[in-house]
């Protein structure tokens, strides 16, 4: 049988069709029916096959009757599905609606599933289906990446069913959703704080869960984000210096609070170095009557920093500060 562009079909085996192309033996990926509708583009790459050199051919099917048929079929399925969903949405048969919602969830149609589960959770109140509907409502929002809504529904679930079938995953996903929704440090950190609280509660209730490590790592990341926000705030105060007031003291207070609240943060060393630098600047700009007192505080801060981070890459900067401070302090 003759094809477009000098392609002649020879024989077919498995998912490959053997054809002749301009008197050269080639293998075409795909079966004979596809060749019949396509036969348009040939991408030739030399490969070894047995004892002879042949060409591996990838065929690209153009917009033919076959492609149009496939698109039409997919659209037909889509419209049928939407039509059925609208029918279910208006139905008063909530058992049917519940089963359709579960099917929609399995097919990853999470918006449809969430809408139907919300109806079912109200109608089935006081039954086992109410519990499952509420949990799947929360999970549908979670899978749809609506973590604020899912967090609220998960919390409603574990408060309403404290010994429920799904209370462990509900508590975990409630917190982990906030973790996934946590914004950049410079933005409002309400989801970050909620994530820490919910995940810590999950660890308290389920210390032997197989998700303990995942929850702990998420908490550490969220705490580091809060610490970074504090570090940025402290750095801002430091950069302002004495502009419209003593901003070095504000820098010290913010940094100290961050160290106290998040003692295991990876930003702890940066915070303590910033405290040392801020104390030095504050002492250096003090009136003469207070210089010695404040430089003593600088020296105390230096020893604390060196003891905590003896191999710090910032040790030389800390030692320079100490050397200057010693000049103002009498033994």
Q: State pLDDT tens for residues 184-223.
A: 998 999 999 999 999 999 999 999 999 999 999 999 999 9
Name the average pLDDT for the chain: 81
Provide the 10 A C-beta neighbour count for residue 89. 13
Q: 319 pLDDT exceeds 70? A: yes
Beta bridge partners of 16: 13, 29
Average pLDDT, stretch 309-331? 92
| Residue 237 contacts residue 281 (beta carbons within 8 Å) | no
Nearest to 274 by CA among 247, 245, 294: 247
pLDDT at 70 over 50: no
The pLDDT score that the predictor gives to residue 126 is: 84
Predicted confidence (pLDDT) at residue 36 exceeds the cutoff of 70: no
Q: State both tokens at 272.
A: 């303590």
Residues in CB range of 179: below 8 A, 6 or more apart? 195, 199, 218, 221, 222
CA atoms within 13 A on the CB side of 224: 13
315: closest CA among 257, 278, 269, 265? 269
CB atoms < 10 A from the CB of 321, how many? 24
Lowest average pLDDT, out of 75-84, 123-132, 152-161, 178-187, goes to: 75-84
Angle between helices 65-90 and 110-123 (to 10 degrees): 20
Contact between 238 and 248 (Cβ < 8 Å) = yes
Instruction: Give the pair of three-digit tokens for residue 225.
Output: 């984000």
User: Model pTM greater than 0.85?
Assistant: no
Which neighbouring-strand residues pair with 26?
19, 55
In angstroms, the CA 236 to CA 243 distance is 11
Who wins on pLDDT, 99 or 77? Answer: 99
Asked whether the predicted pLDDT for residue 64 surpasses 90, the reply is no
Instruction: Evaluate whether 120 touches 98 at the Cβ level (below 8 Å).
Output: yes
Which domains does the chain show, CATH number per domain? Answer: 4-62 (no CATH), 90-225 (1.25.40.10), 228-326 (1.25.40.10)
The answer, yes or no, to whether residue 105 has pLDDT greater than 50, is yes
265: tokens are: 């943060």
**Cα gap 120→100, rounded to integer Å:** 11
Whole-number Å distance between alpha carbons of 29 and 279: 73
Can you give the pLDDT at residue 82?
Answer: 60
DSSP string of 153-215? HHHHHHHH-TT-TTHHHHHHHHHHHHHHH---TTS--HHHHHHHHHHHHHHHH-TT-TTHHHH
Side-chain-facing half-sphere of 169: CA atoms under 13 Å: 10
Please state the rounded mean pLDDT for residues 159-174.
97
Task: Name residue, tokens 């030739």.
Answer: 44
pLDDT, one tens digit per residue, over 247-268 is 999 999 999 999 999 999 999 9
Q: What angle do CA 185, 188, 190 make, to 5 degrees?
A: 105
274 vs 80: which has the higher pLDDT: 274
- Would you give the end-to-end CA distance of the chain in angstroms? 105
87 pLDDT band, cuts 50/70/90, is: confident
- The vertex-198 CA angle with 192 and 202, nearest 5°, equals 140
Q: What is the structure's pLDDT at 109?
A: 95
Which of 25-34, 61-70, 320-329: highest mean pLDDT?
320-329
């Amino acid at each position: 049988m003759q094809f477009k562009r000098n392609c002649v079909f020879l024989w077919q085996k498995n998912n490959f069709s053997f054809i002749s192309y301009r008197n050269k033996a080639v293998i075409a990926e795909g079966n004979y029916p596809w060749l019949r509708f396509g036969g348009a583009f040939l991408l030739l790459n030399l490969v070894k096959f047995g004892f002879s050199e042949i060409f591996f051919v990838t065929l690209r099917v153009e917009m033919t009757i076959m492609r149009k048929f496939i698109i039409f079929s997919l659209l037909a399925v889509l419209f049928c599905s939407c039509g059925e969903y609208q029918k279910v949405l208006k139905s008063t048969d909530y058992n049917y609606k519940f089963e359709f919602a579960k099917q929609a969830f399995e097919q990853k149609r999470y918006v449809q599933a969430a809408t139907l589960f919300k109806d079912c959770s109200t109608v089935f109140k006081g039954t086992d289906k109410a519990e499952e509907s509420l949990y799947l409502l929360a999970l549908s929002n979670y899978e749809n990446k609506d973590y604020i809504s899912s967090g609220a529904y998960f919390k409603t679930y574990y408060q309403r069913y404290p010994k429920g079938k799904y209370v462990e995953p509900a508590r975990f996903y409630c917190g982990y959703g906030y973790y996934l929704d946590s914004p950049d440090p410079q933005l409002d950190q309400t989801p970050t704080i909620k994530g820490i609280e919910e995940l810590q509660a999950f660890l308290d209730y389920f210390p032997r869960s197989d998700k303990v490590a995942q929850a702990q790592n998420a908490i550490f990341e969220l705490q580091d984000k809060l610490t970074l926000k504090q570090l940025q705030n402290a750095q801002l105060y430091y950069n302002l210096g004495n502009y419209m007031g003593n901003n070095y003291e504000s820098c010290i207070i913010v940094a100290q609070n961050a160290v106290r609240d998040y003692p295991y943060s990876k930003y702890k060393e940066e915070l303590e170095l910033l405290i040392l630098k801020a104390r030095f600047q504050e002492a250096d700009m003090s009136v003469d009557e207070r210089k010695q007192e404040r430089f003593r505080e600088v020296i105390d801060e230096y020893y604390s920093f060196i003891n905590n981070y003896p191999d710090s890459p910032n040790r030389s900067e800390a030692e320079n500060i100490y050397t200057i401070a010693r000049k103002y302090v009498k033994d």
